[in-house]
């Protein structure tokens, strides 16, 4: 049969859609991510209606109540130079931006079979943390596990991030975890049978101020003591790695050639499939709405599809973790903060490393498809579960980006989006037991680096939960540390 194109921008065919459905991606958002339809120049304007029709006909998501994709700015591809000409401060403080539409369909397609009534371990959140933990538990023979995910896989920060994986960190613990995660990333395709597009082009950190330069020096020394081959470079030395760089604004650079970038989505699909093949149930479009606690112990999690009794409940709901914890009367100190990101049209491969300017939180890399993918935090953005896309971000990012690579003014931005960082008071996660609620485990607070920490942390957590060794991270990153006034500060944070 000939190839029948359904999305001309991204060259997606009916055969690709059929493949998505065969792998269980039967709702529009999942099929979009699996095939790439709707992620190109027209952002789904020409193909969504036809594809929704096709999916319904083939037993996928009904079209009833289906809204068009969020019209994410820019409406048409627009040059970085145009956005850089705008004064971000004149645009005012960060507002809600273009709000994402309600991403949950009116008639969701859920996994086949009845909703389970009990399990040993229930995990709230089907992001990288929850899915990696479920897989690692199943690998250790703990198969009576159910993952509850309110949306589709990739709905949270794990489906919206920049895919950076680095060993350049400011504490021995984070260096150790990142090193192990990178090892797992390297073996992921072989173990789970899916390509994660790992590219070890390094991370090039740039410092524009003496204070940040000192931070680079301190952490590079620590990293070298822990066998990370980080080199400090003069600005001219940095230009040898990125010849397009304008070195003038910078004082110092740090480069580790082993750091990497991955494509995040296949990680979630790989972990979910690996877990499901070992007996775990991954219940998408299923929201936890209550937690039953009896005599100081978790008994069940209540969902919008029914009650699930469990011995252990893990809160892996990322930026929503405080909300989930509050269902059990537990207060977490995490705060959600919007983090915006964008993608450009593709260029021939020219950029080896992920480049980050620590002073203002700018970072960007070139994907395997040639696009520039980059983001930047906004210190003026207030806390909140906000994920609208703003013009202010486009202006701020474009200015900072062109200060670094001035030759790319004509390159066009295709799309922007946002997710939430899950921020704790000391930029370190919250892991392990919850004081006063036995059987309720926390696995959240990974700020802007949870993707790269998840493989290693999930492995350690599963091993401990399955009766193995208790790693020091479960004593270091406790929830109780905040009440004890014992913070575990990490200041090597981007954004």
Ligand X SMILES: Cc1cc2nc3c(=O)[nH]c(=O)nc-3n(C[C@H](O)[C@H](O)[C@H](O)COP(=O)(O)OP(=O)(O)OC[C@H]3O[C@@H](n4cnc5c(N)ncnc54)[C@H](O)[C@@H]3O)c2cc1C
Give contact residues for ligand X (rule: CB under 6 A).
Answer: 124-130, 148-151, 155-158, 160-164, 287-288, 316-320, 324, 339, 341, 375, 419-421, 444, 446, 448-452
Residue 302 backbone phi and psi in degrees, to 5: -100, 130
Element (H, E) at 133: helix 128-139
Residue 353, φ and ψ in degrees, nearest 5: -90, 170
Q: Give the C-alpha distances (Å, rounded to integers) separating 351 from 228, 242, 243, 305.
A: 22, 7, 9, 47
CB 315 within 8 A of CB 125: yes
Nearer to ligand X, 47 or 166 (CB): 166
Residue number with CB closer to ligand X (38 or 322): 322
The three state secondary structure string of 251-290 is CEEEEECCCEECCCHHHHHHHHHHHHHCCCEEECCCCEEE
- Give the CA angle between residues 227, 230, 233 to the nearest 5°: 155
Nearer to ligand X, 17 or 319 (CB): 319
CB of 152 to ligand X, least distance (A): 8
184 vs 341, which CB is nearer to ligand X? Answer: 341
3-state secondary structure of 326: helix
Min separation Cβ 273 and ligand X, Å: 17
Smallest distance, Å, CB 30 to ligand X?
12
Q: Which is nearer to ligand X, 129 or 145 (by Cβ)? A: 129
Closest to ligand X by CB, 47 vs 109, is 109
Dihedrals phi, psi of 413, to nearest 5 degrees: -80, 135
Question: What's the closest the beta carbon of residue 495 comes to ligand X, in angstroms?
Answer: 8
Q: How far is the CB of 171 from ligand X (least distance, A)?
A: 15
CB of 356 vs ligand X, minimal distance in Å: 10
Report in angstroms how near the CB of residue 54 gets to ligand X at its nearest. 26
How far is the C-alpha of 146 from the C-alpha of 419, rounded, in Å?
25
Tokens encoding 238: 């940095």
Helix (H) or strand (E) holding 420: strand 412-423
Which residues neighbour 280 within 8 Å (Cβ) at sequence distance 6 or greater?
134, 135, 137, 138, 143, 145, 146, 147
Nearer to ligand X, 43 or 424 (CB): 424
Instruction: Choose between 162 and 235: whose C-beta lies nearer to ligand X.
Output: 162
Find the shortest distance in angstroms from Cβ 127 to ligand X: 2
């Amino acid at each position: 049969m000939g190839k029948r194109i359904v999305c001309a921008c991204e060259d997606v065919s009916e055969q690709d859609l059929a493949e998505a459905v065969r792998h269980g991606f039967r709702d529009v958002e999942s099929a979009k991510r699996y095939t790439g339809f709707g992620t190109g120049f027209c952002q789904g304007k020409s193909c969504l209606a036809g594809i929704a029709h096709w999916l319904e006909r083939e037993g996928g998501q009904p079209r009833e109540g289906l809204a068009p994709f969020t019209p994410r700015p820019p409406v048409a591809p627009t040059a970085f130079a145009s956005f850089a000409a705008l004064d971000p401060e004149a645009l005012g403080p960060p507002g809600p931006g273009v709000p994402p539409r309600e991403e949950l369909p009116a008639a969701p397609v859920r996994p086949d079979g009845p909703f389970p009534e009990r399990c040993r371990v229930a995990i709230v959140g089907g992001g990288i943390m929850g899915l990696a933990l479920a897989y690692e538990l199943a690998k250790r023979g703990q198969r009576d596990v159910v993952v509850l995910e309110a949306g589709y896989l990739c709905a949270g920060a794990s489906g919206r991030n920049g895919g950076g994986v680095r060993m350049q960190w400011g504490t021995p613990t984070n260096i150790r975890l990142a090193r192990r995660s990178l090892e797992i990333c390297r073996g992921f395709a072989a173990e789970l049978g899916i390509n994660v597009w790992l590219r070890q082009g390094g991370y090039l950190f740039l410092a524009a101020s003496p204070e940040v330069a000192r931070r680079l020096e301190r952490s590079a020394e620590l990293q070298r003591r822990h066998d990370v081959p980080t080199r400090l470079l003069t600005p001219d030395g940095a230009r040898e790695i990125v010849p397009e760089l304008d070195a003038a604004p910078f004082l110092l650079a740090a480069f580790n050639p082993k750091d990497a970038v991955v494509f995040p989505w296949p990680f979630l699909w790989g972990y979910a499939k690996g877990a499901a093949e070992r007996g775990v149930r991954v219940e998408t479009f299923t929201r936890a709405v209550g937690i039953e606690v009896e005599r100081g112990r978790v008994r069940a999690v209540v969902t919008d599809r029914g009650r699930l009794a469990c011995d252990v409940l893990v809160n892996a709901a990322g930026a929503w973790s405080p909300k989930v914890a509050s269902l059990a009367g537990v207060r977490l100190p995490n705060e959600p903060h919007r983090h915006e990101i964008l993608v450009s049209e593709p260029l021939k491969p020219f950029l080896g490393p992920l480049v980050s300017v620590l002073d203002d939180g700018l970072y960007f890399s070139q994907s395997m498809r040639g696009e520039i993918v980059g983001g930047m935090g906004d210190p003026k953005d207030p806390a909140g579960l906000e994920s609208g896309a703003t013009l202010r971000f486009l202006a701020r990012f474009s200015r900072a980006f062109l200060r670094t690579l001035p030759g790319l003014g004509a390159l066009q931005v295709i799309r922007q989006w946002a997710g939430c960082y899950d921020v704790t008071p000391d930029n370190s996660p919250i892991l392990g037991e919850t004081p006063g609620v036995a059987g309720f485990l926390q696995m959240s607070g990974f700020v802007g680096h949870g993707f790269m920490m998840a493989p290693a942390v999930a492995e350690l957590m599963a091993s401990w939960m399955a009766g193995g060794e208790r790693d020091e991270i479960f004593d270091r990153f406790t929830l109780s540390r905040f009440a004890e006034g014992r913070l575990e500060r990490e200041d090597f944070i981007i954004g």
